[in-house]
Amino acid sequence: MKVSVIVPTLNEALIIEESLTAIASLNPHEIIVADGGSTDFTVSLARRMATRVVISETGRALQMNAGAKEATGDLLLFMHADSRLTPESFEKMTGQMKLCKPAGGAFSLQIESEKISLKLISTLATWRSKYLNLVYGDQTIFVRADIFQILEGFSPLPICEDLEFFRRLSRQGKIILLKEKVHTSSRRWMAEGILFTTLRNITIAILFLLGFPPQFLNKWYMVVR
């Protein structure tokens, strides 16, 4: 199975080399960086290591769609620049996609921190995904390329595009939530405060599901690098 890894970026020069090195160790079919107009050295650094670098309008949904348009793999894996997968987790994903042929899925979340509060948040995030079908992009969503085309990609929302996409994906057939974990940086929780970040994220998700305009909700979400 050919896996195209698509990484949306915006001013990630501090971590992009480390991130792409980790992705390359998974031996995917290709690595596509979809940049949204970085003003630092993200693009030049990415061009040294990625299969392709695609420049698009700013916005994670728009960037991921632009990257997917250039992808040639059977399976699209959307990974945040500050997330990591082990080779074992990657192989588990491809094995499950070959075995039971689901439409797609995601990994369980592990925030990289020794803080008990963040370990608890990681556990609750996995519970939320399993029982409420609410999956965020930091859980590294993967989807068959043909299904992605049927769904016409991510909706061009400024926020919650991951929640909205996964809910549509779940209506296309079987989806899987792997117990294997994707490790994601704790930088947002550290920068904004653990309690504030957690409550803000929950509030945004609830209001989005209740129909509040994403353009309004996006004003509460600060870019952290």
Beta strands in the chain (DSSP E): 3-9, 30-35, 52-55, 75-78, 83-84, 104-111, 141-144, 175-184
Distance between CA atoms of residues 138 and 185, nearest Å: 9
For residue 58, pLDDT over 90 is answered with yes
Report d(CA 128, CA 130) in Å as an integer: 6
Q: Is the pLDDT reported for residue 224 higher than 90? A: no
Q: Are strands 83-84 and 30-35 parallel, antiparallel or unpaired?
A: unpaired
| Mean pLDDT of the region 147-170 | 95
List pLDDT tens digits, range 65-118: 999 999 999 999 999 999 999 999 999 999 999 988 899 999 999 999 999 999
Q: Could you tell me the residue ranges of all domains in the chain?
A: 3-220
Tally: H helices and E strands in the chain: 10, 8
**Which of 26-30, 43-47, 90-94, 198-202 is predicted with the least confidence, judged by mean pLDDT?**
198-202
- Superfamily (CATH) of domain 3-220: Spore Coat Polysaccharide Biosynthesis Protein SpsA; Chain A (3.90.550.10)
Q: Report helix angle 16-24 to 42-49, nearest 10.
A: 20
User: The whole model's pTM is what?
Assistant: 0.93
pLDDT-based confidence at 222, cuts 50/70/90?
Answer: low
